[in-house]
Every structure is written in structure tokens, then in C-alpha cells.
Amino acid sequence: MERNERIEFTAPNTVEIVQRPTPTPGDSEILIETDQSLISSGTETAILTGEFADGTVWDSLYDYPLSPGYCNVGTVIETGNDINDELMGCRVASRTTHVRYAAVDRDKCVLVPETIPTQEAVFLELGKLGLHSLRRGGVELGHATGVFGLGLVGQLLVRLCDAAGAQPIVAFQTSDARREYLPSEPQIVGVDPRDDWEATVEEQTDGRGLDVVFEATGNGDAIEPQLHALREEGRLVIVGSPTEPTPLDLHAISRHSYDVVGAHVYHQPAEPGATNEWTVTRHAELFFNLVGDGVLNIEPLVSHLVSYEEAPSLYETLRTEKSRTMGMLLDW
């Protein structure tokens, strides 16, 4: 079997392609050969720079060297003793890192429908996060929504809010280049938050304010001002993960009866319950259906598709010129 190459962050701001042994799948595992993997720009930039405030959750999670990535589509090339051989040759999506070969538990993989191109299927994990966030926000038909931060997750949130019938959708981003990725629809309004965005919100909502705001910047200092975009009793959904302590005026939250909720991909249930029937499996099925039916157009979000051998230079671009990047795919 060919050598097993893997992307590693060996130290802060240092990316290397290293060789690791090719694993043998266990009884309940499948061996996949990666076709393409997607760089999760927000998470992976934070991990790469290593600029975590002491005592934060981030500070406790990561040590170098580490293998980044969790958006992977590959082909099954070997199965464990307990796995049906019919999976051989199938494409699967998983939370596998940026690596050529990986042994993955079958239950943690999702079959990719034949109609879904690989470069769109690799967005599955971010799509599931978007769907989970939408449900945490309680977005309904006609809700006025706002999305702060138009990286990959923010762009997906805008499109999912649109698919859910929200309007208007006010999308906030300082980068002109990233606002240009927004769909050209009258109900979607791009705003530079350095401008008089509060006037835009007032105009778009007839003075009511936004029903739901999604925080997708990952910038702790940007969160408290977002509360001012909400109506009384509106909801702020924290989707981004700040790497530093975040100041919040709790009196303002109490006085206006705001709801502030978190949305993390790990909190999609594996099994349906009395209060949440939307399991991680159902969200995966829904994501692929939305993409396959043309409701969710992923292709315009791909800004880079390069060989994995170019990963070090691609991460440098992400670190130094992040605003001109969007979906960055590694081809294996």
C-alpha cells in the first residue's frame, strides 16, 4: 500500500506533511482512502496560530503536534470483520483529519449519495452545524435574521435561513470579498458592520429589530454589540468559538429578556428523543437532500481546490490573507 501522508501542525504556525503507518481496520471499522478534505478555516486557523487565552476551553484542548481537519470524503478500500463487504468502493463522509488513509468506525461514517459531487459532500460537517444552529435559533417562516461573520459557516447559515423562509436576512462582514459570496437575492442584505448597520437593521425590520442573530465571527469582542441588533426577547445563537474570554453585559440580556444559546456540532443527538428528533443522521440526510435538490448551492463557496502537497502554502494564505479565502479543498 502507498505511504500514508498526513497534514500536521507540528508547532504554532508550522504545517508539515508527515508519514505515518497505514492503519489496519478493526472489526467494526472501515479503511478509507481520502478523495478530498475541506479546511475548516475558522477552527483550523485558531488551532494553527495557537493564540489561546490561558484558562479557556481552547487552551485545554490542543497540544502540538496534532493532525487538523474534520471534513473528509473518502472511498472504502477495506472492511473489518464485522462490516459488510458491499461497502467496498463506496464514498463515505466522516470527521477524519487531513490524511490519506484512515480506519474509521462504520457508525461514524455517512454514505455519500451517488448524485452528490465529492467537493460538495465534504461540506457535510459544516452543513450539519448550520442545520443544528438553525434549530437552536428557532428560525421560522418570516423571521428577520442576522448572521455576523461570513466565513464558511456564516455563508451556509445565510443560505439555510433563506431555505427556511426567513426574511430579511442581514449578513454582516467587514470584508468586501466575503460579502461578494452572498447569493444575489432581494431578501439577503450584505452589510459592513463598520458602517451604520443599526440603521440598516431598523430599515429592514420596520424598526422592530432582528428576531434571531447568529454569531459566526468567533471574535469575543464582537459579540456584545450584536445584542443591539435584536428585538426585545430576541435570540442570539453562539455558533463561533472565541479563543479568548468574552465580555457580556448580563444586565442588558436580563433587561431585554434576550435568549443567548450555544450551538455546537457535538450536541446533535445520536438517537431521537422526546424533545429533539433531529439526530446527526437525519441532519446528514437533510443536508444531502438540500444539496441534491439544488436548494443549497455549495459549488460557489469553493475558492481553492489544490493538491494536499500544497497544504503548507495554503495554510499560510489562510493565516495571512484569510479574507480572500472561502472553501479550501485538498485533493488527495
Mean pLDDT over residues 147-155, rounded?
Answer: 97
Please give the Cα distance from 237 to 140 (Å, whole number). Answer: 14
pLDDT at 278: 87
CATH superfamily of 129-267: NAD(P)-binding Rossmann-like Domain (3.40.50.720)
Checking if the pLDDT of 1 tops 70, the result is no
Q: How many C-alpha atoms does 121 have within 13 Å on its Cβ side?
A: 23
- Which residues, at least 6 apart from 76, have a Cβ–Cβ distance to it below 8 Å? 30, 31, 32, 87, 88, 89, 90, 91, 92
Phi first, then psi: give them for residue 259, nearest 5 degrees. -100, 130
**Domain extents in the chain:** 4-123+298-331, 129-267
Do the domains at 4-123+298-331 and 129-267 have one common CATH topology? no
pLDDT at 212: 99
Please give the Cα distance from 247 to 220 (Å, whole number). Answer: 7
Percent of the chain residues topping a pLDDT of 90 = 83
Q: Which amino acid is at 316?
A: E
pLDDT at 245: 86
pLDDT at 277: 84
Report the CATH architecture of 4-123+298-331: Alpha-Beta Complex (3.90)
Mean pLDDT over residues 157-166, rounded?
Answer: 98
Task: State the average pLDDT for the chain.
Answer: 95
Q: Note the pLDDT tens digit of each residue in 85-138.
A: 999 999 999 999 999 999 999 999 999 999 999 999 999 999 999 999 999 999
pLDDT at 244: 86
Q: How many C-alpha atoms does 20 have within 13 Å on its Cβ side?
A: 18
Q: Note the pLDDT tens digit of each residue in 39-71.
A: 999 999 999 998 888 888 888 888 899 999 999
